[in-house]
Amino acid sequence: MSLLDAHIPALVAAEGTFGAKTALMRSTISQAESAALSAQAFHVGESSVAFQAAHARFVEVAAKVNALLDIAQLNL
């Protein structure tokens, strides 16, 4: 029996836990996106421009986080 064989149950358990945490993270990002879209109506003028710029950065980072989560889940 190799060292890898001894750790297979731990790896399987970690994969399941990671999947649940990944789903929670994606849900949190989705909720933040929904809240931001709802809050957008309250911004006017310069505030609106600043909000849109910040929101665009958020969307960009959220896409990167989702891509990293996909890669991590594939490699686990």
Helical H segments across 1-76, by residue range: 3-39, 46-75
pLDDT digits (tens, 9 = 90+) for 53-66: 999 999 999 999 99
Give how far Cα 56 sits from Cα of 49, 50, 51, Å. 11, 10, 9
Give how far Cα 61 sits from Cα of 10, 42, 44, Å. 31, 23, 24
Question: For residues 60 and 19, what is the distance between their CA atoms, to the nearest angstrom?
Answer: 22
What are the chain's domains?
3-75 (1.10.287.1060)
Residue 73 has pLDDT above 80, yes or no: yes
pLDDT digits (tens, 9 = 90+) for 1-44: 566 566 667 767 777 788 889 999 999 999 999 999 888 888 88
